[in-house]
Amino acid sequence: MQALTPDIVLMVGAMALMLAAAWRTDSDRHQRFVGFASIGVLLVTLVLVIWFGARDLTAGTGPIAVDRFRWGADVIFLVAALATVALAIEYNVREGIQAAESHVLVLFATSGMMILAAARDLIIVFLGIELMSIAVYVMAGLNRRSARAAEGALKYFLLGAFSTGFLLYGIALVYGATGSTNLSAIGQRIGEYALAHQGMLLVGAALLLVGFAFKVAVVPFHMWAPDVYEGAPTPVTAFMAAAVKAAAFAAFLRVWLECFGSLEFAWFAPIWWVAAITMIVANVVALAQRNVKRLLAYSSIVHSGYVLVAVAAGSRLGASAFLFYLFAYTLAIFGAFAVVSAVGRAGERNLDISDYEGLWSVRPGLAVGMAVCLLALLGFPVFGGVGFFAKLYLLQAALAASNNLAPLAVLLVVTSVVSAGYYLHVVRVMFMKPRRDDALEPEPVGRMTRLVLTASVVLILVLGLLPGRLATWARNSPPTIGAPASAPPVARGAP
């Protein structure tokens, strides 16, 4: 219960702010007040998470994990939530979104993410996913004036509910095969009762794999992502591309390492092929995109394929590389979407790549910031150094894995080269193409948007030059894996 303190503080703060949001009539002033109050709640929660992480606490094998992996993932979620609210405060004013609840929904979604990172029980995993997903469904369709937002939210809701069905059915079958929903107990009983080849367990694991694949948007379970990312408000798109994906992967990684380590013969090949197909297909489709938000959506799908390499590695080194990678990716994606929000105009206009032509000549700060973030996503070893080291650690985890991941590591490098085709194209357009005579000059950048962009770029550059501290933090933050001290008694042969 002590380790749930940050989660409880965030949830209580979210509920209090929900009442405050509903208490007064919607207005720009009220939504800004609730937004800044939400930032305060998130900062308090972040301080608590860092404090608990510094104390290096441990706990038993109950349904809540207490390890550095959980605290590290929480830091990523809270940083992403802070950036989302900061961007949304000014974005909402421009788009005429006066609902103060928009910021509170970010808090509820972040609560679900923190539960996911801490879950050591499949029931807790389900609760975390639902708390996160329901809030994000509403956030995606928050701009009720936009037909694209309504279309994206409906697709997200229907396919999200569909994928949750796979997840629940998988949980039911795994419980039927092992007699437990506790991750450690499941892993222990698979070995103790020689269940590795039992049909019910294998089908349950396959359904869980499909459910998680929908949540992290990997090929061929990705078709909802481009439409949802394009239609959702820009800050929400950044939140989904970074935090929602990170939370789903955190749960995915813990479940696979702790539950199904002994089933590697069954799940390794599917994850290998899904990762490979995702990296190839998403990169090729991204080359044809003209809308910046859709381009970044396919970029997000590509990075899901990269992170799957850490899952396929099935090791603590892979989990550590996963944390480093997602922190670097979160910084880059929020920096890029801060520029998209700044360049965009009311009604989600100015989203075509051609609208970025000659951006250097009118808004040099935005052009430089976007270039740094895109180079970080590409993994360029100088200005985007943190992205380079993130991919380097993924490759090290892949090459150090006991299974044959060398071909997948080679494919990761090759597809990273392919991704230069669309990342560098945007950079070329901003710096080397002349500004059109009829192009509208971007509006002045708001303080909060400028703060998010500046913080992202500075951290990318600093961590790219001095990655040692972040690497040490990630390396010392593997998830706890272990059988429970005393599993409930089970009848021999029939768990």
266-303 pLDDT, tens digit each: 888 898 899 999 999 999 999 988 888 889 989 999 98
Q: What's the pLDDT tens digit per position in 121-165?
A: 999 999 999 999 999 999 988 887 778 888 888 888 888 888 889
Mean pLDDT of 16-36: 88
**Lowest-confidence segment of 285-294, 381-390, 413-422 by average pLDDT:** 381-390
Average pLDDT of every residue of the chain: 85
Q: What's the pLDDT tens digit per position in 177-214?
A: 998 898 888 988 888 888 888 889 999 999 999 999 99
What SS3 class is residue 428?
helix
What confidence score (pLDDT) does residue 462 get? 85
What confidence score (pLDDT) does residue 78 get? 95
The reply to whether 487 falls in a domain is no
Q: In 179-291, where does DSSP find H-type helix? A: 183-192, 199-216, 224-231, 234-239, 245-258, 264-286
Kindly state the tokens that stand for 216.
């992290």
What confidence score (pLDDT) does residue 149 get? 84
Q: What domain count does the chain have?
A: 1
Residue with tokens 């040692």: 468
The reply to whether 492 falls in a domain is no
What confidence score (pLDDT) does residue 383 get? 62
The reply to whether 484 falls in a domain is no
Mean pLDDT of 425-454: 85
**Lowest-confidence segment of 9-23, 73-87, 330-344, 389-403 by average pLDDT:** 389-403
How far is residue 134's CA from residue 138's CA, in Å, rounded to a whole number? 7
Is pLDDT at 225 greater than 50 in this prediction?
yes
Could you tell me if 482 and 184 are in contact, meaning their C-beta atoms sit under 8 angstroms apart? yes
Is pLDDT at 226 greater than 80 in this prediction?
yes
How far is residue 129's CA from residue 109's CA, in Å, rounded to a whole number? 9
Q: By percentage, how much of the chain surpasses pLDDT 70?
A: 93
The reply to whether 396 falls in a domain is yes
The reply to whether 415 falls in a domain is yes
Domain residue limits at 263 = 2-475
Under the banding of pLDDT at 50, 70 and 90, the label for residue 494 is very low
CB atoms within 10 A of CB 402: 9
Under the banding of pLDDT at 50, 70 and 90, the label for residue 481 is low
Helices and strands, number each (H, E), in the chain: 20, 0
The reply to whether 379 falls in a domain is yes
Surface-to-core class of residue 322, CB atoms within 10 Å of its CB (0-12 exposed, 13-18 middle, 19+ buried): buried
Is pLDDT at 46 greater than 90 in this prediction?
yes
The reply to whether 315 falls in a domain is yes
DSSP category for residue 445? P
Is pLDDT at 315 greater than 90 in this prediction?
no
What confidence score (pLDDT) does residue 402 get? 66
- Hey, which residues does 64 pair with through a beta bridge? 119
Q: What's the pLDDT tens digit per position in 350-377?
A: 778 888 888 888 888 889 999 999 988 8
Could you tell me if 482 and 331 are in contact, meaning their C-beta atoms sit under 8 angstroms apart? no
Is pLDDT at 171 greater than 90 in this prediction?
yes
- Hey, which residues does 119 pair with through a beta bridge? 64
Is pLDDT at 48 greater than 90 in this prediction?
yes
Is pLDDT at 483 greater than 90 in this prediction?
no
Residue of higher predicted confidence among 346 and 307: 307
What confidence score (pLDDT) does residue 403 get? 67
DSSP category for residue 315? S
The reply to whether 482 falls in a domain is no
Q: What's the pLDDT tens digit per position in 444-476?
A: 888 899 999 999 999 888 887 777 777 777 777
**Lowest-confidence segment of 139-148, 229-238, 340-349, 480-489 by average pLDDT:** 480-489
DSSP category for residue 433? S
Is pLDDT at 221 greater than 70 in this prediction?
yes
What confidence score (pLDDT) does residue 393 get? 80
Could you tell me if 292 and 427 are in contact, meaning their C-beta atoms sit under 8 angstroms apart? no
Q: By percentage, how much of the chain surpasses pLDDT 90?
A: 31
**List of residues 6+ apart from 36 with CB closer than 8 A:** 89
